[in-house]
Amino acid sequence: MIKIDDNLLNYLFNLARIPASRLSLVQKQKLKKDLNTILGYINKLNKLDTSSVKPFHRPYPLEDIGHDDQPDPSSQTPIKFANQKDGYLIVNRIIDKDNED
Amino acid sequence: MKIKDIRHLTQSFANWQKAVKSNQFDLSEFSRSLVDYMHQAQTKTQSYITILPPAEINKKLQAAVKSNKPLLGWPFSMKDIFITKGIKTTASSKILQDFVPNYDSTIHQRLSRLGGTLTAKTNSDAWGFGASTENSDFYSSKNPYDTNKVPGGSSGGSAASVAMGLSAFDIAEDTGGSIRQPAAFCGLIGFKPTYGSISRYGAIAFSSSLDTVGLIGRDIKDIVWLFNQVKGPDQKDATVYPDQKPTKIYPASRLKAKKIGYIPGFLDENVQPDIISHFHKVKDFYTNNFNIEFVEINMPHFDYGLAVYYILAPAEASSNLARYDGLRYGRSRDQFGHEAIRRILLGNFALASGYYDAYYLKALKVRRLIYQDFIQAFKKVDALLLPATPTTAFDLGEKSQDPLQMYLNDIFTIPPSLAGVPGISFPTGFDSQGLPVSLQLVGPHFSEGLLAGLILAWQQSIKPYLNYPNLP
């Protein structure tokens, strides 16, 4: 049975693009414990022989739908963000002042 | 206006229509009173993310009545995962806490055109991840029948609002039980139609092969009427089934001698005794009144539903939530709540090279076995009667530290979701603590008319739509 250890946990954080460094050690330990409990439960699927079963994606086949291009009037409602000023979005500084040209 | 007058108007569309047509009340006074009661309720049950201002509600009501739109302004709420133009839409998450969309979901657009009046956006578990609303990034909602209990989830705020009589109905979404379970905990009808019935354009995506838009309400007749108005093809959603016929509720004469299946193994130690006794009460009702035969059905893979779900749903969620990259919506991914992070990591694990075959592919294969169980069952019976939940509403905090215990709460609602078949939870009375008890009817794809007929017959016998909690 696969166990999630610290290395695998960090790998998953990296895959998920979630900065692990922003979580406390206690939070990370809890996550690791929870994930292992869930995987322990999920392993019951191994009792079933599925070697001759095809995967199932959705209850019925999808059909592509299309429609003619029809111009719609542009939205007159501006998108609102909490962190906007003078039409710009304010984001956290990512370049240190020392590194500025 | 008094709360009993508000409740009379939201209880059924027939009540609303009669009162509006005969000018029995003042629309602006109604709007003010409704919003006052919603704010009053918010201090006790925290059901809402946004309550719209009374002037705005009144304006929409007046316009709908004046132009004689089909819904005549009947006031409804929506789970805050539906995109509403110009109205904050958060998915109960910090990442989207300031997001005001500049377009509308198809479901909101259709209801607006019909003359429905949106009054509030309701609280849920963030992104729909949970069964209690305790995973909302803002606050936990409370059950209006007992504020020490959860209202269920993820659509807990939705169910609480309808239960108090402050929404005539609520538009919500069910991925593994998010409509049926909170409706069950709050004594309402939780209507999850066949997967692909209603457009999901503008519904913030969780698990795309499972997410199903549906309704929470009091009266099955109104729910089916609304369902017929909002379902059907949408050029903006390729997953909507194209050839849907209007759903007609089966009359009592067509229920005679139908066969209903039940899974005997699931009526034992894991289910609260009150729910088992209600199961037998409903079974006897159908047998005695409609000569319906109850048949034991063997569904060998039903018990694997939860394990399959907790691979497939997080895998799809991890992909859907990748769009919140800290750029397009402004807030960084470390602001995901604990449950969201757990599911994103689990999804990434199941899809990662080296684990994909053993987890994701395995789950897809077992999903087919579960689907086949349902197909085989419906060759023998017309519908299945199941518990909606293993217990009635549980205590706040009781399961929030143990995700597996929380997940197990959806053990009866998940398998129908995996097969894409309709499931409707409906109230059967109260347990010894005074909390609502519900059961669930499940049928073949597009069998909502039969299920609704069975529920209507039961509804006429015990009139659960007359029940209200003491709040607000």
Question: pLDDT tens, A11-36?
Answer: 999 999 999 988 899 999 999 999 99
Q: Kindly identify which residue of chain A lies nearest to residue B325, measuring between CA atoms.
A: A17
Domain residues for the domain of A23 are 1-48
Choosing from B60, B69, B79, B149, which is the catalytic residue?
Answer: B79
Q: What is the pLDDT of residue B266?
A: 73
Quick one: three-class SS letters along B209-263?
CCCEEEEEECCHHHHHHHHHHHCCCECCECCCCCCCCCCCCCCHHHCCCCEEEEC
- Is residue B231 among the annotated active site residues? no
- If pLDDT is split at 50, 70 and 90, which confidence band does A94 have? confident
B430 to chain A, closest Cα gap in Å: 32
- How far does the CA of residue B330 sit from the closest CA of chain A (Å)? 7
Task: Flag whether A42 is in a domain.
Answer: yes
What's the mean pLDDT in B222-249?
Answer: 94
* Total structural domains within chain A: 1
Across chain B, mean pLDDT equals: 96
Question: Chain A 47-86, CB below 8 Å of chain B: which residues?
Answer: 48, 50, 53-60, 62-65, 67, 75, 77-83
Q: How far apart are CA B366 and CA B362, in angstroms?
A: 6
- Tell if the CB–CB gap between B98 and A79 is shorter than 8 Å: no
A88 interfaces chain B, CB cutoff of 8 Å: no
pLDDT at B24 over 90: yes
> CB count, 10 Å around CB of B373?
22
- Domain layout of chain B by residue ranges: 3-302+365-466
Residue A2 lies in a domain: yes
What pLDDT shows up at residue A82?
66
- The answer to whether position A30 is within a domain reads yes
A9 touches chain B (CB under 8 A): yes
Burial annotation B233-248 (CB, 10 A radius, 16+ → b, else e): ebeebebbbeebeebe
* Residue A17 is assigned to a structural domain of this protein: yes
CATH, range B3-302+365-466: 3.90.1300.10
User: Any CB–CB contact under 8 A between A26 and chain B?
Assistant: no
